[in-house]
Amino acid sequence: MSRRARLAFFAVAAAALAMTLGAGLAGLPSFGGQVTAYARMLNRLAPPQRHVTDVVSAISFDYRGIDTLFEEFILLGAVAGISVLLRPLSDEARVLPEDKAPDRAIPPPSPAVWLLAVILSSLLVLAGIETVTHGQLTPGGGFQGGVILASASYVAYLGTNYVTVERFQPAPLLEASDGVGASGYVFIGLLGLLAGASFLSNVVGLGVTGNLISGGTIPLLNLVVGVEVAGGFAILASEFLDQTVVIRTRRR
């Protein structure tokens, strides 16, 4: 199909889509008006019922916890899929980059870059742990904090070099944390069954609202999700970097 024909085809389809979308959007409640009864009920009930102050976390990890279980497994599946797609293919091999000029020393990264990486990555680890552990109190949680934790390793890649970072985060460790995080969610869900309630019931002591340890299983689930997401995103960085650094086409 030529570009012109494709654009014409798109124009017709987009016009039809815009009309359908417009009709659908016009049927929505007016912007800024009343929120649904479900939302009002949850906003009123979640803090006293689950001893949390962040209702979004209570919904994600308690009232609709099974949704988040599937969401977590979507992420696990995607990370596994990317690892499979980016494996060395039949005509490729993993070759560590060799030093072609051993008589010349590799210049170390500039002190400014190194210092910035050290400061930034430690601050990112701190912010990540803070975000993961305070999910039940303030905005944040396992998904957000996990991404912040993984970005600490991205900064470490920038400030040092590939070989150093790979030594500190070996692939088996990352893969294990990805799997342990995902299965941990299921095990915490099974606690509910052991206690005689249903799967993913909040059966752990709820604690005092506003304390760090409060909300029952919500902080525990945030923790395992944080481990999974941090491991998963660190795997992604290392898989994509492998493509440029160590995976080479085998010479015929």
Partner 1 sequence: MSALAYCLVAWLFLIGIYGVVTSRNLIHLVVCLSVAQSATDILLLEIGYRSGGHAPVFVSLPARPGPAVDAVMQALALTDVVVGAAVTGLLLALVVQLHKRAGTLDPDALRATRD
Among candidates 68, 56, 31, which has minimal Cα distance to 225? 68
Q: Give the nearer residue to partner 1 in terms of CB position, either 143 or 184.
A: 143
Q: Cβ closer to partner 1: 59 or 152? A: 59
Q: Does 23 interact with partner 1 (rule: CB under 8 A)? A: no
Select from 50, 51, 60, 223 the one that contacts partner 1 (CB under 8 A).
60
Q: Does 148 bind partner 1 (CB under 8 A)?
A: no
Please say which residue, 12 or 112, places its beta carbon nearer to partner 1.
12
What gap in Å lies between CA 22 and CA 203, rounded to an integer?
A: 45
How far is it, in rounded angstroms, from Cα 143 to Cα 68? 10
Looking at the Cβ atoms of 15 and 115, the one nearer to partner 1 is 15
Q: How far apart are CA 220 and CA 217, in angstroms?
A: 5
Q: How many residues does the chain have?
A: 252
Shortest Cβ 71–partner 1 spacing (Å): 5
Q: Does 54 bind partner 1 (CB under 8 A)?
A: yes
Question: Which amino acid appears at position 36 of this protein?
Answer: T
CB of 35 to partner 1, least distance (A): 4
Instruction: Name the one range near partner 1 by CB under 8 A: 22-30, 120-128, 178-186, 212-220.
Output: 22-30
Asked if 171 and 221 count as a contact pair (C-beta separation under 8 A), the reply is no
Among 16, 45, 66, 74, binds partner 1 (CB under 8 A): 74
Handedness of CA 71, 77, 83, 85 (dihedral sign): negative
CA distance 237 to 152: 11
Three-state secondary structure of 109-135: CCHHHHHHHHHHHHHHHHHHHHHHHCC
Question: Quick check: 198 binds partner 1 (CB under 8 A)?
Answer: no
Strand partners of residue 92: 249
Residue placing its CB nearer to partner 1 in the complex, 79 or 155: 79
What is the Cα Rg of the chain in Å?
24
Interaction of residue 248 with partner 1, rule CB under 8 A: no
Q: Does 39 bind partner 1 (CB under 8 A)?
A: yes
Q: Which residues bind partner 1 (CB under 8 A)?
A: 3, 6-7, 10, 14, 17-18, 21-22, 25-26, 28-36, 38-39, 42-43, 46-47, 53-56, 58-60, 64, 67-68, 71, 74-75, 77-79, 81-82, 85-86, 89, 137-139, 143, 210, 236, 239-240, 243
